[in-house]
């Protein structure tokens, strides 16, 4: 009798795709991953209509606090401001006079916004408050010349906006079950924040996919996280589970609970301000919501929830981080990775935090040359279709959701 096998947690069979017959099992066309014409349709149907995450409520805590979020896809800058009434509002950062940005700082505190071009001044509520030499204008209805306000809604402390001034769904409807099932996670405790940003020569959907399957972990990440998220009991990086609800998808990622950390890494785990992903520990602050490790698997490490279209949250029991992808072209994307660690309560925990920042960066950068090579192959017309493993179901799902959003939108316009 083989005791080791008997005690090993079972890996999930390759039957996930069959639970979603509407997604099929065949190859997926590669055109949407390189075609500029298709990309233009995605911008209209998806990025101008979906709810987009701008940041956290803590970035503008008090009346007069504001932060700016750049949307590289549209070369836009959105101002998120807390008004005197305590409400958060979002505005296009565009002066109604000649179109200059009214605020140039990335964050701060102010009584209002004064355009640095001619000095038009707006209140925290976006209303046009003052125009220098107002008498010099022939017709000026200040009431109609406030900053353009964008729909803003909040989910679990995350601030979302919609570029469509009349969104076809509320944020709650858009996030659906996926959002509801994650409510209660300790997002607000991750106050020690860092962020990396870069431009990768890849289609935005390939960048999303990069974090949505672990089939590649034992091979591509063989020097780094192979033994953490895969390991001898799960040699091919099978997922625990994958859940598809509406346009969003979550995968629960297997963790090797017998993982022996390297020396420096082990010290970092010991002094991390929250439990590490392979500790198997859920600390007293982390009552896991229903949607996190939904099957309550004991060998769980992280959940990766990809909120459509461009925002991924990777959640462990002690820290979380997000990826956001802002396409610049069919083959180019701005990628932002933001870590939310528990605050250090002593100087040694700063070392644990640094290890998280470094190992996370090192591991994700292992994917990037591969992504750029794939894009070159796509751009050269050398790949006509993608063939997906059962546990690459999230990639298949993304393809279908994108196609459905584009087609549904175009149909609604033509009727």
Partner 1 sequence: MPARKTSALLPTAFSGLSDLVEGWALADSTARLEKRLTTPVAEIRAFYDRMLPCAAEALAYLAERQLGALTPQEEALLKLMLSLAEMGPAIEWYGTGAYPDAFDARRFPLVVTLPDNEAQGVAA
Q: Rule CB under 8 A: which residues touch partner 1? A: 188-200, 223-224, 262-265, 267-268, 270-271, 285, 335-338, 341-351, 353-355, 357-359, 361-362, 365-366, 368-370
Cα 123 from Cα 198, distance rounded (Å): 34
In angstroms, what CA-CA distances link 132 with 75, 135, 324?
Answer: 28, 9, 40
C-beta of 294 vs 359, nearer to partner 1: 359
CA-wise closest residue to 79 among 101, 57, 48: 101
Q: Give the sign of the dihedral formed by CA 348, CA 277, CA 54, CA 190.
A: negative
C-beta of 16: minimal distance to partner 1 in Å? 29
C-beta of 100: minimal distance to partner 1 in Å? 24
Q: Do 114 and 129 contact (CB within 8 A), yes or no? A: no
* Cβ neighbours of 412 (radius 10 Å): 10
C-beta of 306: minimal distance to partner 1 in Å? 20
Q: In angstroms, how far is CA 242 from the centroid of its own chain?
A: 17
C-beta of 125 vs 359, nearer to partner 1: 359
C-beta of 121 vs 270, nearer to partner 1: 270
C-beta of 164 vs 224, nearer to partner 1: 224
C-beta of 173 vs 195, nearer to partner 1: 195
If residue 242 lies in a helix (H) or strand (E), which one and from where to where?
strand 241-245
Helices 263-270 and 347-365: crossing angle in degrees, nearest 10, is: 130
C-beta of 191: minimal distance to partner 1 in Å? 6
CA-wise closest residue to 157 among 84, 302, 59: 59
Cα 221 from Cα 187, distance rounded (Å): 28
C-beta of 344: minimal distance to partner 1 in Å? 5
C-beta of 211: minimal distance to partner 1 in Å? 14
C-beta of 204 vs 388, nearer to partner 1: 204
C-beta of 364: minimal distance to partner 1 in Å? 8
CA-wise closest residue to 16 among 174, 308, 215: 215
Strands 76-82 and 241-245: unpaired
C-beta of 172 vs 361, nearer to partner 1: 361
């Amino acid at each position: 009798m083989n005791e080791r096998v008997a005690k090993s947690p079972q890996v999930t069979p390759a039957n996930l795709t069959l639970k979603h017959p509407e997604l099929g099992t065949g190859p997926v066309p590669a055109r949407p991953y390189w075609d500029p014409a298709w990309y233009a349709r995605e911008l209209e149907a998806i990025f101008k209509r979906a709810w987009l995450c701008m940041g956290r409520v803590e970035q503008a805590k008090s009346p007069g606090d504001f932060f700016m979020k750049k949307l590289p896809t549209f070369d836009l800058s959105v101002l998120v401001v807390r008004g005197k009434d305590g409400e958060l509002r979002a505005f296009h950062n565009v002066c109604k006079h000649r179109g200059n940005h009214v605020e140039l700082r990335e964050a701060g505190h102010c009584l209002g916004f004064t355009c640095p071009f001619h000095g038009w001044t707006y209140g925290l509520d976006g209303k046009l408050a003052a125009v220098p030499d107002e008498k010099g204008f022939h017709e000026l209805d200040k009431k109609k010349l406030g900053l353009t306000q964008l729909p803003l809604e909040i989910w679990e402390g995350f601030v979302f906006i919609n570029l469509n001034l009349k969104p076809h769904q509320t944020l709650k409807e858009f996030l659906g079950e996926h959002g509801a099932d994650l409510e209660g996670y300790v997002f607000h405790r991750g106050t020690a924040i860092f962020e990396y940003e870069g431009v990768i020569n890849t289609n935005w959907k390939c960048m999303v996919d990069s974090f949505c399957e672990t089939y590649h972990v034992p091979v591509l990440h063989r020097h780094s996280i192979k033994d953490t998220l895969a390991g001898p009991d799960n040699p091919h990086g099978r997922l625990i589970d994958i859940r598809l609800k509406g346009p969003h998808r979550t995968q629960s990622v297997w963790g090797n609970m017998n993982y022996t950390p390297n020396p420096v890494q082990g010290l970092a785990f010991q002094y991390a301000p929250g439990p590490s992903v392979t500790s198997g520990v859920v600390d007293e602050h982390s009552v896991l919501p229903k949607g996190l490790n939904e099957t309550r698997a004991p060998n769980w490490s992280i959940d990766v929830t990809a909120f459509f279209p461009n925002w991924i949250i990777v959640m462990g029991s002690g820290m979380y981080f997000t990826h956001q992808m802002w396409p610049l072209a069919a083959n180019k994307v701005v990628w932002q990775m933001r870590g939310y660690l528990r605050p250090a309560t002593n100087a040694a925990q700063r070392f644990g935090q640094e290890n998280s920042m470094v190992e996370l960066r090192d591991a994700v950068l292992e994917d990037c040359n591969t992504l750029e090579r794939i894009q070159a192959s796509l751009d050269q017309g050398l790949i006509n279709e993608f063939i997906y493993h059962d546990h690459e179901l999230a990639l298949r799902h993304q393809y279908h959701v994108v196609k459905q959003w584009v087609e549904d939108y175009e149909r609604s316009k033509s009727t």
